Amino acid sequence: MKRLFTLAITIAVSCAAQAQEQKEYPKPEAMRPGMSEYWTPQPKVITPGDIKTDTAPSDAVVLFDGKDLSAWMNPNGEKAEWTVKNGVMTVDKSKGDIVTRQKFGSFQLHLEWCVPTGITGESQARGNSGVFLQDMYEVQILDCFNNETYVNGMTGSIYKQTPPLANAMRKPGEWNVYDIIYTAPVFKEDGTYLYRPFVTVIQNGIVLQNHTEIQGTTEYIGFPRTVKHGEGPIRLQSHGDPSQPISFRNIWIRPL
């Protein structure tokens, strides 16, 4: 028993000595503000547009500045023939839709549109048009000032998919402003979505779509389809409803 006790004491003393001899390493350096900051690359400098003169940002592609339709064509590649007068272009329903000559992926789009004073009709037959993103996905344009319709076909809806969060329409004769931020989809090799498109729509300073996922093509009849595509044009719709045509001005886009 005495030998066991002596052995235990020896082991305990040895462990204590080893603990005292353990090497001490430097402690982590105290964090300073500069340790989580970086300075490059600096973002490019962009001169903002001037709302008083309807000028676009310095890096924007101007799609309509009130002068002509040189940035547009009809879907067959022929000259766009909507009416241009006093800095405004007005839909010519006898000439059909128009599309941009240039194609885009993700972008920030600005456009202003106006429903004419004295417009007639109701529901979808009242100031109907639309802006198609990559010529695939429609953000609805419609006169929803004191004019009810199916909610997933209202102004600012992702047509037949997602209703807007609010009705922000100005009355006929006053200009409405759309600011649209669009993220293009990514496709798998088999043609299905890896990432679906997303869109934010702001009308007259009011958020109508907040990073909304687009389910697929915006069909008039039926449900969304998945159609593999690359960059595409912006399309403005010449709708066949019998009401007076709407007008557009100050259209520009910033590829992202």
Claim: this prediction has a pTM higher than 0.85: yes
Same domain, 27 and 105: no
pLDDT tens-digit map of 170-205: 999 999 999 999 999 999 999 999 999 999 999 999
Classify residue 47: in a domain, yes or no.
no
Give the pLDDT confidence score for residue 71 in this predicted structure: 97
3-state secondary structure of 86: coil
* Tokens found for residue 3: 């030998």
Provide the pLDDT confidence category of residue 19 given band limits of 50, 70 and 90. Answer: low
Same domain, 12 and 111: no
Give the pLDDT confidence score for residue 17 in this predicted structure: 54
Classify residue 41: in a domain, yes or no.
no
N-term to C-term CA, the chain? 83
Give the pLDDT confidence score for residue 18 in this predicted structure: 59
Give the pLDDT confidence score for residue 23 in this predicted structure: 87
- Tell me the residue range of the domain where 10 lies: 2-36
Q: CA-based diameter of the chain, in Å?
A: 113
Q: How many domains does the chain have?
A: 2
CATH code, 155: 2.60.120.560
Q: Is the pLDDT of residue 241 over 90?
A: no
Same domain, 212 and 94: yes
Same domain, 94 and 205: yes
Classify residue 55: in a domain, yes or no.
no
AA identity, residue 80 = A
Classify residue 236: in a domain, yes or no.
yes
- What is the mean pLDDT of the segment spanning 154-163? 97
Same domain, 130 and 212: yes
Q: Is the pLDDT of residue 2 over 60?
A: no
Classify residue 32: in a domain, yes or no.
yes
**Residue 194 phi, psi dihedral angles, 5° rounding:** -85, -45
Same domain, 145 and 111: yes
Classify residue 159: in a domain, yes or no.
yes
Classify residue 53: in a domain, yes or no.
no
